[in-house]
Amino acid sequence: MAGFEEVNYYFRRAARIMDLSPRVEKLLITPFREVKVDVSISLDSGELGTFIGYRVQHDRSRGPMKGGLRYHPTLDMDEALGLASLMTWKNAVVNVPYGGAKGGIAVDPSKISERELERLTRRFVEQIHDIIGPQIDIPAPDMGTNAQVMAWIMDAYSKIHGFSPAVVTGKPIDLFGSRGREEATGRGVVYALEEFLKDMGGGEIRGKRCAIQGFGNVGSWAARFLHKAGATVVAVSDQTGGVANPEGLDVPKLVEHAKRANAVAGFPGVDSISNEELLVSEVDVLIPAAVGGVLTRENARHVRARYVVEAANAPTTPEADEILTTRGIPILPDIYANAGGVTVSYFEWTQNIQQFTWEEPKITAELRRYMSEAYATLSRVARERRVPLRTAAFIVAIGRVGRATVLRGL
């Protein structure tokens, strides 16, 4: 879970190095808008279902605000605040022209029917339509949401404001979505890892032993691209448990199994492994790609990976970050490593605004360029300031957001 204070801990660490004044620090931390709404619908049973929806808009100095919608039972305002601020810094790190936002509904989508999910989504749009829009705030999928949910949002918004495909990204291809968007975060993780390994003297991806916690959209696509690049994926887990094979998992077959069974557990011919065991397995690259806060003060001392790549949002607590850094385990931070999704969301939004479709080779080439250029900047700042990559990422992001804020006179 990405709490607001956890994100601000990293912000303040960078701000001290940059010698930011308390006034500017407060200006950049303070959210632009926090919205909490009642989202009540008729359930299929005829009963009334009442849910709470959130949308936090953190910063708009560099463009329209951008960030996912999460449908998860534990979502609350603190998590939305933390994730929204992370989006501000993430968008600035990869230099896409957006501010940061995040939100969603406190609901377990697996516990309601598809009809209820659609009604809930459309009702949520009715509650927040006046604060989102193609030039205001552009939602996207996150945990518990997908392309279908984005299609409902686009339709509900368009019924009020006129045809508006650019109001959300991550839409189905047949409804003005972008090629390459579904796999963008996982693909971006692998592009980021390539840059990271080159910079750290770790060589190429081929032959690296990798463990991935989380096998949803991000983890499963990262596994596919790692497998294709010649890495050996030795362990994978999700909320049901995990599977491991020291010789390497058959990733394409595991993906098919997970689709059928809705879980990685039960995949034949492998060992079982818990999420806790996966995090401390002996590998070259550990990729937490599930929920936040999984690397903690308790388990960070036992991590045996040579590198940690944060494909999830805020998977490492500040205490764990300090321990891993002290132990000499380099961390590729979330606000860079998982930015492939928002980068291709930017490409989708651009295509919608232009009403012109890009071909997939252009999209993947542009994504690689954005990830490569962003890493070069982070690496340079880390060397010049003699700081870890996470602090360098915040220094870059704060500098870009701060300059835009001052120039606009906000």
Task: Divide the 410 residues of the chain into consecutive groups of 10 and give the mean pLDDT of each group.
Answer: 80 94 92 97 96 98 97 95 95 97 97 97 98 98 94 98 97 96 95 96 94 94 97 94 94 95 90 93 96 92 96 93 96 96 97 95 97 98 96 97 89
To 5 degrees, how large is the angle CA 114–CA 54–CA 123?
40
Tell me which of 3.40.470.10, 2.60.40.180, 3.40.50.300, 3.40.50.10860 is the CATH number of domain 32-175: 3.40.50.10860
Return the pLDDT at 2.
62
Residues of each domain in the chain carrying CATH 3.40.50.10860: 32-175
Tell me which residue has tokens 């796999």.
Answer: 183
- Quote the pLDDT of residue 345: 97
pLDDT of residue 383: 96
Q: Which residues contact 162 (CB under 8 A, 6 or more apart)?
A: none
User: Residue 119 carries which side chain, given as an amino acid letter?
Assistant: R
pLDDT at 64: 98
| pLDDT for the residue 175 | 96
Domain with CATH 3.40.50.720 in the chain: 184-337
Q: Is 26 a catalytic residue?
A: no
Count other Cβ atoms within 10 Å, centred on residue 166.
Answer: 22
Catalytic residue among 66, 90, 102, 171: 102
Note the pTM of the prediction, 2 decimals. Answer: 0.94
CATH number assigned to the domain with residue range 184-337, chosen from the 4 options 3.10.20.30, 3.20.20.80, 3.40.50.300, 3.40.50.720: 3.40.50.720
Instruction: Determine the pLDDT at residue 109.
Output: 96
CB distance 85 to 31 below 8 Å: yes
**Cα 81 to Cα 3: distance, rounded to the nearest angstrom:** 7
DSSP string, 32-83: SEEEEEEEEEE-TTS-EEEEEEEEEEEE-TTSSEEEEEEE-TT--HHHHHHH
Provide the pLDDT for residue 298: 94
Angle (deg, nearest 10), helices 4-18 and 22-29? 150
Eight-state DSSP code of residue 316: B
